[in-house]
Structure 1
Amino acid sequence: MSTLYQPSFAAGELAPGLHYRSDLAKWRAGAKRLVNFFVHPQGGISNRAGTQYTGTAKATAAVRLIPFTFNVDQTYALEFGAGYIRFISGGAYLTVAGAPLEVATPYAAGELFALKYVQSNDVLTITHPAHAPQTLRRLGVTTWDFGPVDFGAQLGQVTGLTATAQSDSVPGGTPTPSMRGFRYAVAAARRSPPDYGPLSADATCSNYDLGYNGTNGTRNTLHWDTLPGASFYNVYRFYQGGWGFIGATEDQTFVDTNALPDLADGPVEANDPFVDGWPATVGYYQQRQVFGGGTATPQTLNFSRSANFTSFDTANPLQPDDAITATLASRESNSIRHLIALQDLIVLTASAAWSVSGGDSGVLTAASILVKPQVFVGASDVPPLTVNFDLLYVQAKGAAVRGLAYNNVANGYVGQDLSVLSAHLFTGYTIVDWAWCAEPHKVVWAVRSDGVLLGFTFLREQEVYAWHRHETDGQFLSVCSVSEDGEDVLYCAVRRGGAITVERMRSRRIGPQGTNPAEAWFVDCGLQYRGAPATTISGLGHLEGRTVAILADGNVVTPRAVAGGTITLDRPASIVTVGLPFTALAETLPLDLGQQGGTIIGKRKRVSQVRLAVENTRGLEVAISPERAEREPQWREFKERRFEAWGAPTALLTGTEELNVAGEWDHYGSMLIRQTRPLPCTVLGIMPEVEVGS
């Protein structure tokens, strides 16, 4: 008789080709199946929390959820459908006069998952190659503005410019005219945000005494009309074939006493980089907004002026804060798909990842820009995720998930396949959407093309790379993550029947100490009643005709069907959670002693007893996985009720629990763990007692 011990599941669900690779370090922390169980960064597994019904989406064809974060206390999940956006905050739709707040958009249903976006403060910029870039602005809790980005000059053109030659030493104040003429132009400027208007129409005057005699008191005086929004005005004089700067003033008057024009500081010239087509993606880098890709210029990057996100103007000659245009010198003409600011700007195409930086100076300018290829594995259209200093993206070919991080030894960015150990979860499918929930469990949630939700627990510094899968009575369509109540909360769009519901994954916190079963929420698309003891629970119209799981004051109630939007309990209860049931199932790998103890793979073995280390657990069942598929597992349940008072709910268990499982002799010895009830369970370790035969 041997006692084996699996203290961790930090490798997640492993591909079938690895089920007998006991030589791998990750094998001892792997599982054969993890369905509706997620892996903790510390190695244990818990059944995932259920979801709360937020509402039914307006659209029935396609819905995409996009996060909007004004600050950590004001976050929103945006419901994008064909031609509209709706707003969700704190698990509820924002409403005006009793109806969901809604703004119109130009996007069709088939374009939603090609939208790229980036946020700065309260402005979300959205791109699609078939449409002009748009901005969504938050003006107040229920006041939002949506419209195209204005890439034209924000400041207008100065008008009314006149130039007059004057002299204090000449009778009448008018100096001698000559063939030497002076030609002037003025441009308005704004300090914050920095902006420059176009040059005015020029004005000329002739002044022989200023040009040749240099007579004291001789000058040219300029006047122009006030321009609203201008902070000051730059004055230029035409000299040696170009415009040169001669001064600035906050007034509408300027006096030129023959200042030498600075040709190195010329006026700003208007530039619209999108006259031939709209960009495909958008980002920010070093205080510049950058657009990339598109039909007309698939490999071109357009950086705005520094600190002026909508101006792409340049001066002649170029200045350090001017707009920048750069094109990838690639062997293939694959459009730019994503722009992500890390240490450098990472540019992802369908075939490669590139870095853009300021070179040795570190400051990006038109004269200092370094574009380098990093890895030749391209990205799909799914927006990448930034996880600390790592970039996660979905591979263009297939559905593998890759990581990209800077490596000091390589002096560049290196890639890593993060899904290779669980490749079976991706074969034949694609990832269509995903979101990163850092707290409290550090999980990437990824929507697969068949509606299954994959989870990926990721903590690189502890080498935790654990995939798990999650299913519901429906198909997941889209997800996004926003911060609420100190956690990263996942919002999901789920197709249930003919409708699309928007749901919020609940926290696994069940009371201040995590031990109150009445607070448990382990049903999907659910709602909760809290109030005076009641037997009739209403408001369940979205679950009409469905058989629902029920938890009433911490006690599991027999499932029943929703009729007329209500259910009726046998006994009154004050906290009632109602929703669709789901089963969490974990299966261990075939048993082996490991390399030091020799192998028992292929030998007949029998598990007679199992000890589980559990935390805040109730309703857990254990069985030995039958060697023959046609046989049903013989489930065993822990004895739970012990010292509770009469009428009180059964307490949650924490500690080591033992079960006699009476397994049969077989060649695998895999164990099954499941939770079918709307209750929490966490497994920290498994210790089977194993007899080994020939």
Structure 2
Amino acid sequence: MSLANPIICSFNAGELSSSLYGRVDLQKYFNGCKTLKNFIPLPHGPAQRRAGTRYINEVFGREQVINGDFVSDTGWTQGTGWTIADGVATATAGAKSALCRSSDCIEGREYLVTYTIDSVTAGSVQAYLGGTLLTARSTAGTFTERATFGGDDDCVGFLKADDFAGVIGDFSVMEVNPPAVLISFEFSTVQAYILEFTEKQIRFYKDGGIILDGDDPYTLETPYLEDDLTSLHTTQSADVLYIAHPDYAPRKLLRYGHTDWELTTITFLGSPVKNITGADKTDPVKVYCPQHNFENEDQIAIWDVAGMYEINGFHIVTGRTDDSFKLRGVDGEHFHAYTGGGKTWKIRRPITGATQANPVVITLPNHGFANGDRIRITGVGGMTEINDKNFTVANRTEDTFELQGIDGTGYTAYTIGGYAGIWSELFEEEDHYPSSVEFFEERLIWAATNEKPQTIFGSKVGDYENMGAGPNDDDAFIYTIAAKGVNPIQWIVPMDKLLLGTRGGEWVMRSSGADEPITPSNVNIKRESTWGSANVQALLVNDVVLFLQRGRSKIRELVYNFEKDGYVAPDLTILSEHITTGGIQRIAYQQEPYSFLWAVRKDGVLLNMVYERSQNVVGWSRQVTDGKVKDVAVITSSGDDEVWLLVERTINGSPRLYMERSEDQYLDSYLTWSGGGPVAITGITNASQAVVTAPGNYCDNGDHVRIVNVEGMTEVNECVFTVSDKSGDTFKIKDSDGNYVNSSDFGTYTSGGTAEVVSIDFSGVEHLAGESIHLLGDGCVLPAVTVSATGTFSLSAYVGELVAGLQFDSVLQPMNIEAGAQAGTAQGKIKRVHELTIRLKDTKACWVKAADDTWQEIAFRGDEDPADAPIPAFTGDKRVCVYPGSFGTEGDITLMVKEPYPATIVALLPKLKTMDVL
């Protein structure tokens, strides 16, 4: 038997795989842990307890009721006795009947139903949700209920009793726990937002809260459905966020102010379709169309004009300017006024024939098309099957061409008319929308349409929405990766080169010259590795790219290797392959105060990877909460980066989706309350109604205040009073029976003392209704309480500061000790740890697991520390003897923190005996 006193001085290899339990030949073994839960390894070695999360807001889906404010009766089916007028729905007594409208609600999902009954004359009414009837109401008021959509039909509305007579003012239905994703929007460290995308809606967060428009969250409508959200790729330039998705035309989100955002479809220069912005009732009609690029005598088609619908059709351009043109021979003086919209497109001469053949042959004299051109046909009479579709020109002659691959033998015979025009494939139709977007060398780069999944599209230099290709070096370009099989691009990341991740490998795109930019004629692309990527945006971290491999279980580091003179992509999960079990769904990167990768696992566990490449530090840990993390996003701030989370929690048996932010308390989904802190007292009168003077106090009548440390009038110390007759810096105090405090016989106030607003009853915690919550009051741990159904709870004593939330425990267990063997390894040999010294930093709580599986609490409150004062943070060594008779082959050490306190484990110094006889 030999004695050993090793030091475990670092935990920054993180939680290691069980496959490494015997790998004492690796240095990482001695820096790793068997368990690292709710601790985060820091780059320089210690393990720090993770911060908790502050509750921000519950996430709801978009409004399901169109015209729920009853400004018109459009869309509503009004049963007997119901009428809609003047912004209300009025019911008169009579037959039992319904007021309803169709919705997009989904059977089996839960919805939040809110409505206001302005008045009730008689009877009752019930909200209706796809066959589910909510509580009958017979009084005026605003009512909110959660209910499951029944699915008997797609309707929402109200069902009134036959005797109900009353007025309903508004009606709202929003989905509870909708699918959602988070996207960061960063203009600067003081202008950074979190965007919450749900189906067809964005909500906005800033400065730790949701942005409101009046009393309601500010929202913006989008076209994206719930299944589209995780496939959104974005990039940003100043106040513009560009958005790519393979099923939608590219869009941009523009910020004009906190409550002034706009989402628009991008109209690219170089695209054949132009947007009309106005039209004058003149002879000839003048049409306003910025950057139309038409010439006089061009033949154009116009459609979708509202108001002046008479100009929808085919015309000849005359009187052109850069932003307008006139319609030759069209007198618009008696047309309807233009009200909005409209698109226009340059076409060729009219079609004069189309054959019912395989392939279809089009006759269009002097068409000027070349084989391979993409064209669009519209306006054909008879053979309408070819209208409003795109085709490829083949076997052209001067006056005819074939529609490549189009069998028209079963089509209707051509009769008359029709037009054909060159049609750019660039992002103008289904299957031609890009799925990735990024900036590179002053170009906006798009990539990977369904039709061309391996193609990169670069804008004109410095002109991000100009995709007009050409021979000049600054013109837009299109380049397709020549790869075996279909190999869709999954992400693009700009560095000094353009890095591309495809389903089958990783590529580098650059110019042929070392210091030259990419141009239409100077492009070189090379495959660097063949790991393949998942459809998750990769992250640029200094001079490397972190990406999720195709199987979603490995994070790889794409980094330049000088020996290879190319890129390599080592696996950053190789020592912790268990950590990603089930697959990773979302990732985000935090730079300050430490370099962290955050990853959301499919089962809702949040993973953290400390990443300090220059120090060879990579360490994973699991961050577990009472719920499932659905997404994570990071935004910069003037200090540390902000980590935002979407968390699904089960509250009272039902799922809820919450927006939460990692902050510096040690409870989850917590809220705080503060009375404002102590205010200095300068005087208290001896009177039948004592008057307290406390300049700058912020209490109100009815508040409770605790007075302490008064000199002279000591009778008021450590007492709680009710504020009354507040006037400027003075107020009177009442006792618990509501009587004014008579201080006539008290000692005379001489100096000192403070008054602090305190409370014992709390509300506003509806998001944790029915849950047992843990409390930190005035810096001390208080007994747990259960929140009422209405979000209230009470304490047994008054406090001036309170943190209330869900408890989580943090557990650290290092690898089996490898020390003390006189010969060979200590692995497998019986050991006895009889003493443990724990080196700590800024720690207020810690438990050590003893040999009998019980937990021993380490004392942090000294004999000189008041029992009712907060525990002071401790930095130094704590010596623990908890292992009498604890013999075993592993020599396990396990630490836990469960109180809402900070803890940082710097090092472990066990004393043990190792037996060389097994």
Shift in Å, 1:614: 0.3
Shift in Å, 1:350: 0.9
Shift in Å, 1:536: 1.5
> What's the counterpart of residue 165 of structure 1?
none
Q: Please show how residues 230-629 of structure 1 align to structure 2 within 5 Å.
A: 271=424, 273-275=426-428, 277-315=432-470, 318-360=471-513, 361-427=515-581, 429-497=582-650, 498-507=655-664, 521-531=665-675, 532-563=757-788, 564-593=790-819, 598-624=824-850
Shift in Å, 1:196: 7.0
Q: Please show how residues 113-152 of structure 1 align to structure 2 within 5 Å.
A: 113-152=230-269
> What's the counterpart of residue 24 of structure 2?
22
Shift in Å, 1:639: 4.5
Q: Distance in 1 between matches of 2:865 and 2:7?
A: 31
Shift in Å, 1:581: 0.4
Give secondary structure in 2 for the equivalent of 1:671.
Answer: coil
Relative to the length of structure 2, the TM-score reads: 0.61
Give secondary structure in 1 for the equivalent of 2:223.
Answer: coil
1:643 aligned onto 2:864? yes
Contact 2:270 2:467 in 1 (8 A): no
Amino acid at match of 1:635: Q
1:104 aligned onto 2:221? yes
Contact 2:552 2:584 in 1 (8 A): no
> What's the counterpart of residue 343 of structure 2?
none
Amino acid at match of 1:58: F
Contact 2:296 2:320 in 1 (8 A): no
Contact 2:53 2:662 in 1 (8 A): yes
Shift in Å, 1:224: 7.2
Q: Residues 134, 596 of structure 1: CA spacing in aligned structure 2 closer, same or farther, 3 A cutoff?
A: farther
Identity %: 29
> What's the counterpart of residue 206 of structure 2?
89
Q: Aligned to 1:661, which of 882, 886, 889?
A: 882
Relative to the length of structure 1, the TM-score reads: 0.80
Q: Distance in 2 between matches of 1:597 and 1:486?
A: 52
Give secondary structure in 1 for the equivalent of 2:457.
Answer: strand
Which runs of 5 or more residues in structure 2 are unaligned? 62-176, 277-289, 299-317, 326-367, 369-421, 676-756
Q: Distance in 1 between matches of 2:663 and 2:823?
A: 43
Q: Distance in 2 between matches of 1:683 and 1:406?
A: 35
Shift in Å, 1:585: 0.5
Contact 1:585 1:675 in 2 (8 A): yes
Amino acid at match of 2:503: A
Q: Aligned to 1:5, which of 7, 11, 31?
A: 7
Amino acid at match of 1:57: V
Contact 1:641 1:651 in 2 (8 A): no
1:57 aligned onto 2:174? no
Shift in Å, 1:493: 0.3
Give secondary structure in 1 for the equivalent of 2:666.
Answer: coil
1:596-623 deviation line (CA, Å, top 9, x unaligned): 9842111111111110110110110112
Q: Distance in 1 between matches of 2:17 and 2:892?
A: 15
1:687 aligned onto 2:782? no
Q: Residues 88, 588 of structure 1: CA spacing in aligned structure 2 closer, same or farther, 3 A cutoff?
A: same
Shift in Å, 1:100: 0.3
> What's the counterpart of residue 234 of structure 1?
none
Shift in Å, 1:310: 1.1
Shift in Å, 1:594: 8.6
Contact 1:22 1:594 in 2 (8 A): no
Which runs of 5 or more residues in structure 1 are unaligned? 158-194, 204-222, 231-240, 242-268, 508-520
Contact 1:153 1:197 in 2 (8 A): no
1:376-417 deviation line (CA, Å, top 9, x unaligned): 111111211111111001100251110001223322211110
Contact 1:156 1:198 in 2 (8 A): no
Contact 2:534 2:552 in 1 (8 A): no
Contact 1:198 1:270 in 2 (8 A): no
Give secondary structure in 2 for the equivalent of 1:416.
Answer: coil
Shift in Å, 1:280: 1.2
1:678 aligned onto 2:678? no
Shift in Å, 1:4: 1.2
1:156-199 deviation line (CA, Å, top 9, x unaligned): 99xxxxxxxxxxxxxxxxxxxxxxxxxxxxxxxxxxxxx97625
Contact 1:7 1:686 in 2 (8 A): yes
- Give the total of aligned pairs: 582
Shift in Å, 1:588: 1.2
1:622-677 deviation line (CA, Å, top 9, x unaligned): 124x6xxxx63443423433432463212111011111112510110110010011
> What's the counterpart of residue 104 of structure 2?
none
Q: Residues 595, 101 of structure 1: CA spacing in aligned structure 2 closer, same or farther, 3 A cutoff?
A: farther
Amino acid at match of 1:604: I
Shift in Å, 1:523: 0.4
Larger Rg: 2
Q: Residues 29, 229 of structure 1: CA spacing in aligned structure 2 closer, same or farther, 3 A cutoff?
A: farther
Q: Distance in 2 between matches of 1:595 and 1:368?
A: 64
1:39 aligned onto 2:156? no
Q: Distance in 2 between matches of 1:137 and 1:282?
A: 16
1:467-521 deviation line (CA, Å, top 9, x unaligned): 00011110000010012341111100011122100000004xxxxxxxxxxxxx1
Q: Residues 296, 486 of structure 1: CA spacing in aligned structure 2 closer, same or farther, 3 A cutoff?
A: same
Contact 2:296 2:319 in 1 (8 A): no
Shift in Å, 1:116: 0.9
Amino acid at match of 1:309: Y
Q: Distance in 1 between matches of 2:795 and 2:269?
A: 64
Amino acid at match of 1:88: Y
Amino acid at match of 2:892: S
Give secondary structure in 2 for the equivalent of 1:484.
Answer: coil
RMSD over aligned CA atoms reads 2.4
Contact 1:433 1:478 in 2 (8 A): yes
Q: Distance in 2 between matches of 1:633 and 1:31?
A: 21
Q: Distance in 1 between matches of 2:821 and 2:14?
A: 21
Q: Distance in 1 between matches of 2:820 and 2:205?
A: 51
**More divergent stretch after superposition (583-592 vs 657-666):** 657-666
**More divergent stretch after superposition (594-603 vs 117-126):** 594-603
Amino acid at match of 1:500: L
Amino acid at match of 1:587: Q
> What's the counterpart of residue 262 of structure 1?
none
1:188-243 deviation line (CA, Å, top 9, x unaligned): xxxxxxx976252379xxxxxxxxxxxxxxxxxxx97653599xxxxxxxxxx9xx
Shift in Å, 1:126: 1.0
> What's the counterpart of residue 71 of structure 1?
188
Give secondary structure in 2 for the equivalent of 1:406.
Answer: strand
Give secondary structure in 1 for the equivalent of 2:880.
Answer: strand
Q: Residues 82, 597 of structure 1: CA spacing in aligned structure 2 closer, same or farther, 3 A cutoff?
A: farther
Q: Distance in 2 between matches of 1:581 and 1:458?
A: 28
Q: Residues 642, 350 of structure 1: CA spacing in aligned structure 2 closer, same or farther, 3 A cutoff?
A: farther
**More divergent stretch after superposition (437-446 vs 27-36):** 437-446
1:97-133 deviation line (CA, Å, top 9, x unaligned): 1100000111111111111111111111111111111
